[in-house]
Structure 1
Amino acid sequence: MATHKILVIDDSRVIRMRVREMLPEGDFEILEAKDGVEGLNLINQVHPNLIMLDFLLPRMSGWEVYQQIQSHADLQLIPLVLMSGRKEEVTEKIPEPFEHFEFIEKPFERKALIEAIREAMRKASELRRQREREAAAAAPVAVGTGASADVQALTQRIEHLEQEVATLKKQMGQLLMFIKQRLGSK
């Protein structure tokens, strides 16, 4: 029996089949939903280990499904890959950088899909660690441990700054790639 569930929410049967074929064989089950309502129901029923969500869906859009996911703290921790044929439609609603999910533009190749899944898992893991640190920082500190609390606060600040630097590096790389593409097309 599969221990990991991957939910692919896309109105295109071709995309759902393509994702299924591109994923490496492993100990997981691929669930499919053809619209946002069906997808949201499955998310709430099975709490999948990964969600691949098309942004443009019938009955309930991917944007609306995304908003529902973001309104529940436990669902926010599920790695999410948003898919769309037009990135502009996503960035219209959700400005970059995409902090808590990964984006992949359709059509995509297997290598890009695997990388998007890895990155979505990394982002979800970072969010989980951030929440754990915040919970630990919010926990009451025993009397006489003021120096220890100061060190912990500084450590958390450093980790936060390191994350910001990593985000800025990624944004710079994306900007450079965009400029190179624009210069190359002229």
Structure 2
Amino acid sequence: MATHKILVIDDSRVIRMRVRDMLPQGNFEVLEAKDGIEGLDAIRGQRPNLIMLDFLLPRMSGWEVFQEIQAQPDLQHIPLVLMSGRKEEVTEKISEPFEYFEFIQKPFEQKELIEAIKAAMTKARKPRPKAVVAAAPTVAATVGAADSGEVAALKAQVAKLEAEVVQLKGQVSKILTFIKQRMK
């Protein structure tokens, strides 16, 4: 029976399978989640030894999952590899250097994946400042139950809009490239 659990949270079945295939054969179980809510449920229920988290996810974004992990001291020490096709999506919300998790840009090769996992394991062991850990629950505790539902709904809308903006930026970039090629 597997003693280590690796959770891959990505809406792309291809990426989940690719990660599974790239991992060396060993004494671990690969768990999969296709969206942020399913991923967070798996984190809480399965307590994985490593989390591979896509930044753009349906239902609950990778950014929101990341914030939830960081707000809970019992989860924040799980090694985390954040994945995205565009690093600027991540650096817009989290400034570098990434102190407590590792980032890997999609698409990636097996060697890059293994190195990212090793780095994430090292970073997860770093001690966290107590002030940051203590501040997160205090902020959450000040929000009333009715307000927290509205805040969660607004956050979900903002995450969806941000994902749409990223997609639109990519489409505009492709259109501009096409136009420039045609003008030559």
The TM-score, its normalising length taken from structure 2, stands at 0.69
Please give the alpha-carbon distance, in whole angstroms, between the structure 2 residues aligned to 1:57 and 1:124: 23
Task: Indicate the RMSD between aligned Cα atoms, in angstroms.
Answer: 1.2
Equivalent in the alignment of 2:47: 47
Corresponding position of 1:168: none
Alpha-carbon distance between aligned partners in 2 of 1:69 and 1:76, rounded to the nearest angstrom: 5
In the alignment, what sits opposite 2:78? 78
Identity of aligned pairs, percent? Answer: 77
Contact kept? 1:100, 1:127, Cα under 8 Å: no
Q: CA deviation at 1:34?
A: 0.2
> What secondary structure is seen at the aligned counterpart in 2 of 1:90?
helix
Describe the SS at the equivalent of 2:82: strand
Unaligned runs of at least 5 residues, structure 2: 131-184
Aligned length: 130
Structure 1 residue aligned with 2:175: none
Mapped to 1, the partners of 2:118 and 2:126 lie a distance apart of: 12
Q: Where does residue 121 of structure 2 map in the other structure?
A: 121
Q: Which runs of 5+ in 1 are unaligned?
A: 132-186
The reply to whether residue 56 of structure 1 matches residue 56 of structure 2 is yes
- Report which of the two structures shows the higher radius of gyration computed on alpha carbons: 1
Could you tell me which residue of structure 2 aligns to residue 38 of structure 1?
38
Please list the CA deviations of residues 108-143 of structure 1 after superposition, one character each: whole Å capped at 9, or x if unmatched: 000000000000000012237x88xxxxxxxxxxxx
> What are the equivalent positions in structure 2 for 1:1-186 lying under 5 Å apart?
1-127=1-127
SS in 1 for 2:52: strand
- SS of match in other structure, 2:75: helix
CA distance in 2, matches of 1:127, 1:55: 24
Distance 2:84 2:21 in 1: 19
Q: What's the secondary structure of 1:40's corresponding residue?
A: helix
Q: Aligned equivalents of 1:55 and 1:124: distance in 2?
A: 18
Letter in 2 for 1:119: A
Amino acid corresponding to residue 126 of structure 1 in structure 2: K
TM-superposition CA deviations, 1:3-50 (whole Å, max 9, x none): 000000000000000000000000000000000000000000011000
What is the DSSP-based 3-state SS (H/G/I as helix, E as strand, rest coil) of the residue aligned with 1:14?
Answer: helix
Name the CA distance, whole Å, in 1 between partners of 2:23 and 2:127.
24
Aligned to 1:113, what secondary structure does the other structure show? helix
**TM-score, scaled relative to structure 1:** 0.68
Distance in structure 1 (CA, Å) of the matches to 2:127 and 2:16: 27
